[in-house]
């Protein structure tokens, strides 16, 4: 019985930590190049992306090979726009793109 309490408390702590952090760090994914990002890599990528966008909220950090990038950081800027910040292996900005998932096409 005591083990269940410890396991439940540990699981709750992980969920709370994930919610408090507010950032998804990608594991293995469907997209080519997506993969594990360590906590240190995620922190450095998050910091570089927020500096490049003038602040905001980081939604996700993942590995990426689009446009020659190493990392992709999805950021919701202070004005509500969501962008993908692509960084090289040294956490330098390669490109900042509008997030296609949040953009709507022309109305029919």
Q: Can you give the residue ranges of every domain in the chain?
A: 23-100
Q: Which residue has the tokens 């990528």?
A: 45
Please give the biggest Cα pair distance in the chain.
Answer: 60
Query: Fold for domain 23-100?
Result: SHC Adaptor Protein (3.30.505)
Mean pLDDT over 10-18 rounds to 41
Tens of pLDDT along 44-91? 999 999 999 999 999 999 998 887 899 999 999 999 999 999 999 999
Please tell me the distance from the alpha carbon of residue 60 to that of residue 25, in angstroms, as a whole number: 6
Tens of pLDDT along 18-43? 444 555 544 434 444 446 899 999 99
Among 23-27, 32-36, 93-97, 100-104, the minimum mean pLDDT is found in 23-27
């Amino acid at each position: 019985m005591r083990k269940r309490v410890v396991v439940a408390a540990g699981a709750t702590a992980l969920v709370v930590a994930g919610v408090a952090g507010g950032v998804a760090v990608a594991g293995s994914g469907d997209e080519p190049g997506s993969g594990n990002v360590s906590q240190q890599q995620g922190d450095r990528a998050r910091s570089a992306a927020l500096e490049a966008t003038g602040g905001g909220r980081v939604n996700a950090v993942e590995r990426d090979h689009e446009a020659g990038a190493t990392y992709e950081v999805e950021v919701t800027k202070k004005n509500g726009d969501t962008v993908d910040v692509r960084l090289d292996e040294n956490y330098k900005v390669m490109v900042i793109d509008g997030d296609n998932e949040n953009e709507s096409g022309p109305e029919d």
